A and B are shown apart, each in its own frame.
Chain A
Amino acid sequence: MATTAKKKDVVIVGLGWTGAIVGMELCEEGLEVLALERGDDRDTIPDFRYPNIADELKYGVRYAAMQKPRNSTLTIRRTIEETALPYRSLGSFLPGDGVGGAGVCWSGNSFRPMAEELRLRSYVVENFGQGIIPEGMTIQDWGVTYSELEPYFDRFEKVAGIAGKAGNINGKIVEDGNPFEAPRSGEYPMPPLPQTVDALMFAKAARSIGHHPYPLPSANASQTYTNPYGMQRGPCNFCGFCDRFGCFNYSKSSPQTCILDALKRKPNFEYRANSEVLRVELSPDRKTATGVTYLTAEGEEIIQPADLVILAAYQLHNVHLMLLSSIGKSYDPVSGEGVTGKNYAYQMTGGTSLFFKGIDFNPFVGAGSNGTVIDDFAINRIDFGAQGFIGGSYICAGTTNGQPIRSMRLPKGTHSWGGQWKQAIKEWYGHSMSIGSHGSNMSYSDSYMDLDPTYTDRYGRPLLRMTFNWKPNDIRMTQFMKNQIEPIAKSMNPDIMDSDYKSDGAMYDVRPYQTTHNVGGAIMGTDPNTSALNRYLQSWDVHNVFVMGANAFPQNIQYNPTGTVGALAYWSVAAIRKHYLPRPRPLI
């Protein structure tokens, strides 16, 4: 028997980056805000404290900071014909769990997309003609432009305290920054981090062949920083336990280091951990939500009425909750109708390893987000017509960690065990680096999400089902990047060089880690027939539901998503404050 709780003005599902941002901003309006987080409560000390956090096995290999598939997972298949099977143990992507969400254990690369990426379809049609868009590719414009979002990128970067070097300030190109980036209204809040040996070598090599290296925009603090909420960070010490780990040093931006202690002081804010939202409750006419139903840690079912429902869970879970709650019509890949679940996309990555007998890289000297980037082959630099693909990539070298179980890079052909392996690990550990391509991934009519017909979660709800595979367009893109990276790598004269890029016929493999950049499924756009959310992240159908996160991306950008997720949250909540709260209604 469910208990009905006292009504709140706002209920937020999930207390990661976007939940914390929206909570902070709506508390400023004086609203009573409740955030429900299904994972554990977590704070820097004690949960990420040194020395306990410096434990590769627990966090890097057993994924202690991540969601447990036992509690929540999905099924995956490559094609519509295949039977989807459960993602039983973590591999390809690692959704976060608990207060702070994936914002605790991310690596911290914090980019803005290129202006062209936010209106990709129009950009392609205007410059290369509709004809180059392959059959089945369903790329769209986002419905919001870069210049509209710029103040909100700026806001997020100041709150998150990003370290970097601007390359374009109000149209003026700045030396040592990225000359191809969209104009920024100002410099980064912090100067760039110092760089590891591999990043310095890559920068030198890239520059010498005419590319434009710039420091990776990083959520690792380069110095002491105090953000607009008064939250503080200390300089990153390159501990080498960053991605997959909570930061013990208050150096990596996260909801904990940037927002939560300030938010917890608000008398009108409340949060409950270990509280899992089962569904969003809709009014009989299904035009508004009346609140959510959730389970407490003790298994008590609670109906939480609210005037405004913010879905701020991870991309997969926002889409899952929308499907379970019938928010928006479920997408049908055959007819192409419906919007919820449409346009799931991922990230196309590849890389080249370089081995140098005589160079000491000290790979344990690392930060989650550290390195040198070039955007010379990014989306606005490529002639899609001539190259035969739509997309682009940033190319990067830098060291995140030297943890020996998961980061033991050995030349191809080395035995994976036995005496030769034991000798090789001594010979090559600390004597290699890699140059990576981090590329876009387009959206397609048969890459989508719906509810699984067979498997259920621990509450008996159908699991989310992902249908996704690599497509020729994106494989051509990554092969193009291979051809750009290898000459740079060769110019550095490594003793051995190995490349690893997807090639024709590559099928999606859920086992090796790739990225936790799952996007789409509840996308933003200009047309209720082709998108689930309007340009303000408001559900077209249920106007008091706003959905934060990378689920809004109509296709994936070439960059890591967090910067864009943060900016969109500030953009959306600004619209809520300015336009929605005075007169709740569909904003478009």
Chain B
Amino acid sequence: MPLEQYQPQFFTADEWAFILAATARLIPSKGDGPGAIEARVPVFIDLQLADDFGKGADWYMQGPHDPNAPPQLGYQSPLRPAEAYRAGIAKLNDWCRAKHGGPFVELSPEEQNDILTALEKHEIALASTPAANFFDLLLQSNKEGYFADPMYGGNYKMAAWVHIDFPGARASFREWVGVDKPYPLGPVSITGERA
């Protein structure tokens, strides 16, 4: 199914528009290799947030939650990842409207890049959700969606693996131990897809 026809399971239409725009900046289409859009990273993120990851199903979520916790003590937000996404997108769009007169998706790629850079450097404070958490979550999800097995919705046609010459789930290289020359064979996925 083409990406345009994908019906998000978790994101609302506005959120989906943000995710399409933000992932396209984090891994742009230009240059060698697929961008986040070609790799269908947004689909991956949507499916993950609708599933156990989004629910923080494995995490310890009992309170109290210390809003001033030092970052070195790890994730301490009361928000589960899906909630953190939802709140983060809303707050960032609010911030964009206040500073740039429109939601993130309506801004130019240059403005979007600047905003993401500021977010990464903690220069934008998003009330009620620590800014670093949201950006870190977003960036980590992008990399996961880019490189995870295609059965999770991203890494479409294993193009990200092909881009870096990673052979995927082959998991058998005894003959190549200690060999300093490029390994030529393309990847295979868990379900047996070949490239």
Contact = CB atoms under 8 A, between A and B. Distances in A.
Q: Do chains A and B touch in the complex (CB under 8 A)?
A: yes
Interface of A: 50-57, 61-63, 68-70, 73, 76-78, 83, 85-89, 91, 193-197, 200, 235-241, 248, 359-362, 364-365, 402-405, 408, 416-419, 421-423, 425-426, 429-430, 454-456, 507-511
B69 A85 contact: yes
Given A54-B171, A76-B73, A417 B142 contact: yes
13 contacts: A51-B169, A54-B170, A61-B144, A69-B59, A87-B60, A88-B60, A91-B74, A238-B172, A241-B171, A360-B183, A365-B179, A417-B26, A417-B142
A536 B169 CA distance: 45
Interface residue SS majority, chain B: loop
B35 interface: yes
A417 B139 contact: yes
List 6 tightest A-B contacts by C-beta distance, closest first.
A239-B171, A54-B169, A57-B148, A69-B60, A509-B72, A429-B164
From A76, A416, A423, residue with most partner B Cβ within 10 Å: A416
Contacts of B91: none
A194 B74 contact: no
Nearest to B28: A419
Contacts of B25: 417-418
Contact of A429 (B59, B62, B166, B191): B166
A425 B191 CA distance: 25
A85 B53 CA distance: 21
B176 to A, nearest CB: 5
B125 interface: no
A88 B76 contact: yes
Interface of B: 25-28, 30-33, 35, 53, 56-62, 64, 66, 69, 71-76, 113, 116, 120, 139, 142-144, 147-149, 152, 160-161, 163-174, 176-183, 190-192
Contacts of A56: 147-149
Contact of A238 (B28, B139, B177, B180): B177
A193 B62 CA distance: 46
Given A76-B73, A511-B71, 12 more contacts: A55-B169, A62-B53, A200-B178, A364-B170, A364-B183, A365-B176, A404-B161, A422-B27, A426-B164, A429-B166, A509-B72, A511-B72
Contacts of B139: 416-417
B157 to A, nearest CB: 16
B99 to A, nearest CB: 21
Contacts of B180: 197, 359-361
Contacts of A429: 164-166
Contacts of A73: 60
Contact of B74 (A57, A417, A423, A510): A510
From B27, B66, B72, residue with most partner A Cβ within 10 Å: B72
A85 B148 contact: no
A507 B72 CA distance: 8
Contacts of B170: 54, 364
A405 B152 CA distance: 14
Nearest to B152: A57
Contacts of B144: 57, 61, 405
A85 B76 CA distance: 8
Contact of A240 (B27, B73, B173, B191): B173
Contacts of A200: 178
B171 A240 contact: yes
B28 A422 contact: yes
B28 A418 contact: yes
A195 B60 contact: no
Contacts of A509: 72
A70 B59 contact: yes
B58 A362 contact: no
B184 to A, nearest CB: 11
Nearest to A91: B74
Contact of A418 (B26, B72, B74, B172): B26
A55 B149 contact: yes
B177 A195 contact: yes
Contact of B35 (A86, A87, A422): A422
Nearest to B116: A417
B151 to A, nearest CB: 8
Contacts of A76: 73-74
A51 B171 contact: yes
Contact of B27 (A78, A91, A239, A421): A421
